[in-house]
Amino acid sequence: MGQKAFTLAEVLITLGIIGVVAAMTLPSLTEKTKYKEFETRYKVAANLLHNAVSYFHSQQLMMTESTYCTANSSDYCKDGQYRVFSEVLAEAFTGIHALNKNGNGSYAAKKYYIFTGGSKFDEGLLNDGYMELKNGMSVIVETGGSTSNPIIFFDVNGTSNKPNRIGHDTFAFVIDKGDRVCPLGSPSCKGRTQYIEDTDDFTKSKYCNPTSTDSQNGATCGYFASIDNDYFQKIK
């Protein structure tokens, strides 16, 4: 008795159907994988910043005004008595073997966009220091004025890789008094009080709002990423 088998035409039709289904589902799977990677890297970035602060404690150096001044030029640091914050942070990253190189913040300032839409993010928050880490992340520093706590932005997949969008692949942290590290916007840290959020729903937030076109929109998304387990699945 002859054995039954698929004809060549049937095999080709089946492969064609599989190909169509794969083409329809692959973009969605790729998108989910990308944002899962952003979520993982976000957690790594937060941990790195904690480690940098811990390094200073291990060296008996406090990341306070006794170590640095919150200015972007040594000209404003009491005649060289203190170092600028970006230099201190670079030393910390070097101490934990995380730093690849550092440079001028203006390199990155023009590359970033707000959380939603195509508008550029406020360049004034991205021009006080720039570093590249060995793991491919970029770090951008906003030192602020003499009474402001520094803001540290982590681009978790590096400045050279898109989307370069605040709240998608780039997140802000603040170092508060007592060297506490928090995502910018967290009520737990009082540094930069103008950004503190009073909601746990980012769709109702001040600076991580999907409907806002504010030039600083996205600045507090790191806070919502830290409290909402589904944050990275919700953003588009």
In this prediction, residue 60 carries a pLDDT of: 59
Contact 59, 95 (CB under 8 A): yes
Please give the backbone phi and psi of residue 63, each rounded to the nearest 5 degrees, phi first: -85, 65
Question: What are the tens digits of pLDDT across the range 88-103?
Answer: 889 899 999 999 998 8
DSSP string covering 38-85, please?
A: HHHHHHHHHHHHHHHHHHHHHTT--SSTTTEESSSSGGGSTTTTSEEH
Half-sphere exposure of residue 63, counting CA atoms within 13 Å on the CB side? 29
Rounded mean pLDDT for each run of 10 residues along the chain, 236 residues in total: 63 70 57 80 96 81 55 54 76 92 82 93 90 95 73 95 95 85 91 90 95 96 96 87
Q: CA 8 to CA 212: how far, in whole Å?
A: 56
Buried b (16+ CB within 10 A) or exposed e, 110-144: ebbbbbbeeeebbeebbbbbbbbbeeebbbbbbbb
In this prediction, residue 17 carries a pLDDT of: 73
- Supply the mean pLDDT for the chain: 83
Question: What are the tens digits of pLDDT across the range 170-196?
Answer: 999 998 877 789 999 999 887 788 999
In this prediction, residue 120 carries a pLDDT of: 95
Report which residue type is found at 162: K
3-state SS assignment for residue 138: strand
pTM of the complete model: 0.82
Contact 152, 68 (CB under 8 A): no
Q: Provide the β-strand partners of residue 170.
A: 155, 166
CA proximity to 116, closest of 151, 157, 153, 167: 167
